Structures are given as C-alpha cells and as structure tokens.
Structure 1
C-alpha cells in the first residue's frame, strides 16, 4: 500500500489496512530435532527469485568454519530455483526437503531453533506469524509486511534485504545468545496473539458494512 501511494496510486482516505490472522494447527508434531549441539535454522517458501534464497545460502557460506559443524539450514519448499539452490549449497550444512503440505512445513519449522525469511518483498508475511505462533524466533528482511510485524531486537531480528553479511551476523547472534533467543520466543508469541483470525473477520465485516 505504501508503494502504491508513493507511485501516485489511490488516496490515503480511501485505503484501509486489514491484517491477516493465523491459527496454528493443534497437536502439531515437530519433525526430528537436530542434535542438541546443532543450531537449526529453517527457511520455508517457494524457491523463486523474489524469495531470495540466495542471500540465505550466501550468509551460511560466511559462517566461521568451526561453527559450520554445529549449524544446519533446512530448506522447505520447491520451485524453479530448487535444483540450482541445491547445487550451490551442496558443500554446505544445508538440507533440502522439498515441497511439503502446510502441516508438514509447519512441523519442520517447529523443529528449528530459528526461522529466516529473506524475501525481496512480502505484502504481509503470514509465515512470520506462523513461526511466532510456534514459539520460533524469526529473523527477516526489513521489507514489506515483516517490518510491520517485527520490532527489531524485541520480538524478532531484521536485516537489510539482500545483505548476506548482516544476515550472517544475525545468525551468529542467535547462535551465541540464549537470552536473546528466549526473549524473541516469548515476545514473538505475544505478537502472534495480536493477529487472531476473528479480528480479521470482524474488520472485514465492518468495512463492508460502512
């Protein structure tokens, strides 16, 4: 919406923002956990250019060699870039599990220590809410919707989109600071509760009734 207004499309007085809500399936069974001494970061989405998985792979490649031994990136999703991403990540601690249904994708997310969203642009970012609802700390590119959901350092971490070094630094923060992880987990759950599906429905009802 901000982009549309900057481009001269629409009038602010005629625009209304209604945020999406999200529920987490009950009795979600997490996938196999990584060993206790391994930090698992998950990435979930379509492997397409606008999702920018390359920046995540580049950030992993920048991790210190000694930390590579206790780090794992799990990539959940398929798409036109899947084969290429698999090739460039072949020498890294990256596990490609392919496209999954929503419940299985959430189970993989729940198995991780943190979740990363690297998109060049996200209108909202439901996947951020899903991770928060699962109690998984989030690090996301500071573009679009995620930057409205996340307050950097309080309920998640933000990094400049496309900046692999900044993402690497955020990953290192998460790996080395258990207090930060706990704070992001607790505050992320609180933030998730700000987006109930019932509120979205009520806002839509009021808009159409106006």
Structure 2
C-alpha cells in the first residue's frame, strides 16, 4: 500500500500568529480610512455560488441603516463576468467609499485578522475553509445557513448563521457581532 498511499496536507494553517490591532492599523493606513472604520471582510473567488453581488447589496443597506462606518473589503480573484457586474453595481449605488475590491493577497491571514467580522454569502459551500481560518484568528464569522456552513458554525456559539440572500438578517448579525 505504501506505493499507493498519498499524503494530503492540512489546507488550514493552525500555526498563525497575527495581531488584530497591528494589522488593522496598517490596513487603515494603507487605505487612508478613518481610525473608527469597521472592516467587514469577504474572502472568495468571484463565482455565482459565492454571491459577491450580495456583498454590494449588504453594503448599500448598511449605508442607509447604520451609523457605524462599515467598510466592506472584497478579497479574491475578481472573475468575469461578475467583476464587471459588481463594479458597475458599486458605482450605481455610490458605494466607492464603502466597498473595496482588494484582489488576491498572500499571505491572507493578516487581512482576515484585520477584519472586525468575516462574512460568507455563499450557497452550497463545501468546507468553508475561510471560516475556520477566521475562527483560528479570533475574527467573528457570519455566514449563510446553507451548505457546509451549517456543519462548521453553531449559531450563537462560534459564529452566526443567517438565511441565504437575507441582507437584513446579515446586517443585523454583523451589527450585533461588531457591537
């Protein structure tokens, strides 16, 4: 069997030592944002199943319903056609000061650590590795109650679960978590 065995490395780095305070301060400086900015991170490659447009709609709702200066950071490979759709929607809603397309960055852990909350809007997500990485970094997680998210998160215990596509519920959970 030794010649047929294959070692599969753990895809989650459990040896992470990143400072929330230092990384958030550095990101605020890089982006020239106010010190009281609340970072909501979304980390995914831009495919339909990940629902990146939901992040833009969430930011629009936050802008009208929330006095907190929430800034939505969208990390990952911005693939077409969703890249154009998302960028156009950000512009249509006047959210250029609220939603930032961050692209792919490596290592990603400092950016996850800099967030006040990490959200996942995905449907039919498998493992949800980003949620686990965020938990290891003590970054609060809010995700859709769909797919593998429900196997990782116990609502109210180690994160929050909200109905798929329900931006109001997502915003309420974010507000509760960052409070």
Q: Quickly name the TM-score band, shorter chain normalised.
A: 0.7 to 0.9
- 2:164 matched to which residue of 1? 161
Q: Between Structure 1 and Structure 2, how many residues are aligned?
A: 155
How far apart are residue 74 of structure 1 and its match?
Answer: 0.6
- Given that 1:47 and 1:82 are in contact with CA atoms closer than 8 Å, whether structure 2 keeps it comes out as yes
- 1:95 matched to which residue of 2? 100
Find the aligned partners of 2:55 and 2:162 in 1 and give their Cα distance.
11
Find the aligned partners of 2:16 and 2:113 in 1 and give their Cα distance.
13
Find the aligned partners of 2:153 and 2:65 in 1 and give their Cα distance.
31
Structure number with higher helix proportion: 1
Find the aligned partners of 1:64 and 1:111 in 2 and give their Cα distance.
21
Distance 1:89 1:68, change over 3 A: farther
- 2:71 matched to which residue of 1? 72
How far apart are residue 126 of structure 1 and its match?
Answer: 0.7
How far apart are residue 162 of structure 1 and its match?
Answer: 1.3
Counterpart among 123, 127, 135 of residue 124 in structure 1 = 127
**TM-score, length-normalised on structure 1?**
0.66
Distance 1:25 1:45, change over 3 A: farther
- 2:12 matched to which residue of 1? 22
- Given that 1:33 and 1:112 are in contact with CA atoms closer than 8 Å, whether structure 2 keeps it comes out as no
Match of 2:66, SS?
A: helix
1:106 paired with 2:109, answer: yes
How far apart are residue 106 of structure 1 and its match?
Answer: 2.2
- 1:173 matched to which residue of 2? 176
- 2:154 matched to which residue of 1? 151
Find the aligned partners of 1:43 and 1:84 in 2 and give their Cα distance.
17
Deviations along 1:111-132, one digit per CA (max 9) or x if unpaired, are 1101001101111111110000
Distance 1:77 1:153, change over 3 A: same
- Of stretches 150-159 and 105-114 in structure 1, the one that deviates more from structure 2 is 105-114
How far apart are residue 24 of structure 1 and its match?
Answer: 3.8
Find the aligned partners of 1:116 and 1:140 in 2 and give their Cα distance.
5
Match of 2:49, SS?
A: helix
Find the aligned partners of 1:26 and 1:139 in 2 and give their Cα distance.
21
Gaps of 5+ in 2: 1-9, 29-33
Gaps of 5+ in 1: 1-19, 178-210
- 2:49 matched to which residue of 1? 50
Find the aligned partners of 1:163 and 1:67 in 2 and give their Cα distance.
16
How far apart are residue 167 of structure 1 and its match?
Answer: 1.1
Find the aligned partners of 1:46 and 1:23 in 2 and give their Cα distance.
19
How far apart are residue 28 of structure 1 and its match?
Answer: 4.4
